[in-house]
Amino acid sequence: MNHKTAVVILNWNGKHFLERFLDVLLERTPQPWAQVYIADNGSTDESVSWLKETHPNLPLILFDKNYGYTGGYNKALRQIDADYYVLLNSDVEVSPDWLPPLVEYLEQNKEYGICMPKVLSWTKQDTFEYAGACGGYIDRLGFPFCRGRILTHIEKDEGQYDHPVPVFWASGVCMVVQADLFHRLGGLDDDFFAHMEEIDFCWRAHWAGYRAAVVPASTIFHVGGGTLPNDSPHKLYLNYRNNLLMLYKNLSRRGVVFILPARWFLDHVSAITYFFQGKWSFMGSVYKAHIHFWKKLRFMKRHKDVPAPNLRGVMYRGSIILRFFLSFKKIVFSKLRME
């Protein structure tokens, strides 16, 4: 059966999140035009048995192992027929009427293939959440930041960003995408496994002539750190490696020549900083990321040779890191010039 919208949760050992948030999601997701699916990424906790016992009629897609965020969603969405896909984390509490504004925005603005809601912290609900906040952006060196969250500085939500705007990327915490576009782009990049795959996907959508937006009329609350904690060396490794992969794939040839050497220098400065902080596992993660990036390089496919997308207003032309430290870590998005 074709549903207009498929809300797909990719679960991996997240029984505690499903117990807390799934019933709220089911209650607040409009039927019959939207259907919730659970794709289980080889969980070893009691997620699957709990789902079968408590929600026997809920569509459940089972995998034999953990294929990561990218592989899990790619495998799941190939099995689901819908007009729109919602990629939703399991550690999310949705608000009432959260879904219609997102789907309606894509229906009414055909040049937009991707959108996201406003993402607030579940533990501090008057504050934006790190992973997406109110829309994702990127600077010229490839460092991502958000409307409402620049690096480690996170703003309170006081309604200052309650209007829809174009963004560079939509958060994988809750990303709504046209199904046709998802499959046309080949889905998420399996090489990423997890982290920054949504930024790469949105960048490829820009190359294909589409845009992304944040729709703050929809709000969700995200716990965060549900799969890998923020202090995980493996998470740091994935972020550094995948950022390099993303840049190589999506920059222009000129950008590759000038930006990648600059990132090599800045990443090594980060590694040295971790060394002096005594965070030797973090330093190792940075070097490991660069080694694995260069090993993968000859197998990577770059974008097709088409006119570069217009990224005015969604890519910061300066250095967000430099601006962050010059402002003593207190810079807010509204003070940036994004022209």
CB neighbour list of residue 125: distance below 8 Å, 6 or more residues apart: 221
Distance between CA atoms of 135 and 161, rounded to whole angstroms? 9
Give 64-99 pLDDT, tens digit per residue.
999 999 999 999 999 999 999 999 999 999 999 999
pLDDT, residue 298, reads 81
For tokens 């060196």, name the residue: 141
Going by their DSSP bridges, the two strands 153-154 and 149-150 should be labelled as antiparallel
pLDDT, residue 231, reads 76
Closest residue by Cα to residue 9 from 29, 31, 39, 43: 39
Helix axes 280-296, 233-250, angle to 10 degrees: 30
Domains and CATH numbers, the chain: 3-222 (3.90.550.10), 233-309 (no CATH)
Closest residue by Cα to residue 250 from 168, 154, 156, 146: 168
Q: From residue 334, how far is each of 148, 161, 197, 215, 267 by CA, in Å?
A: 8, 9, 26, 17, 27
Residue 230, pLDDT > 70, answer: no
What does the pLDDT average to over 114-138? 97
Q: What percent of the chain has pLDDT over 90?
A: 89
Average pLDDT, the chain: 94
Distance between CA atoms of 249 and 243, rounded to whole angstroms? 10
> DSSP character for 109?
-
Residue 110, pLDDT > 60, answer: yes
**Could you tell me the pLDDT band of residue 205, with boundaries at 50, 70 and 90?**
very high
What does the pLDDT average to over 12-17? 96
What does the pLDDT average to over 234-252? 95
**Could you tell me the pLDDT band of residue 301, with boundaries at 50, 70 and 90?**
confident
Distance between CA atoms of 8 and 178, rounded to whole angstroms? 14
Distance between CA atoms of 133 and 138, rounded to whole angstroms? 14
pLDDT, residue 2, reads 55
Contact (CB, 8 A) for 92 and 223: yes
pLDDT, residue 117, reads 98
Distance between CA atoms of 35 and 119, rounded to whole angstroms? 22
pLDDT, residue 224, reads 85
pLDDT, residue 1, reads 45
pTM: 0.95
Closest residue by Cα to residue 55 from 33, 98, 25, 82: 25
CB neighbour list of residue 242: distance below 8 Å, 6 or more residues apart: 192, 195, 196, 197, 200
Closest residue by Cα to residue 165 from 220, 246, 105: 105
pLDDT, residue 297, reads 85
What does the pLDDT average to over 2-29? 95
Distance of CA 220 to the CA centre of its chain: 14
Closest residue by Cα to residue 102 from 4, 195, 23, 9: 4
**Could you tell me the pLDDT band of residue 228, with boundaries at 50, 70 and 90?**
low
Here the tokens at position 81 are 């027929």
Distance between CA atoms of 334 and 147, rounded to whole angstroms? 8
What does the pLDDT average to over 286-313? 88
Distance of CA 330 to the CA centre of its chain: 24
AA letter at 316: Y
Lowest mean pLDDT among 114-128, 257-271, 294-308: 294-308
Closest residue by Cα to residue 194 from 146, 157, 227: 227
Closest residue by Cα to residue 121 from 98, 151, 90, 93: 93
Distance between CA atoms of 149 and 134, rounded to whole angstroms? 8
Residue 307, pLDDT > 90, answer: no
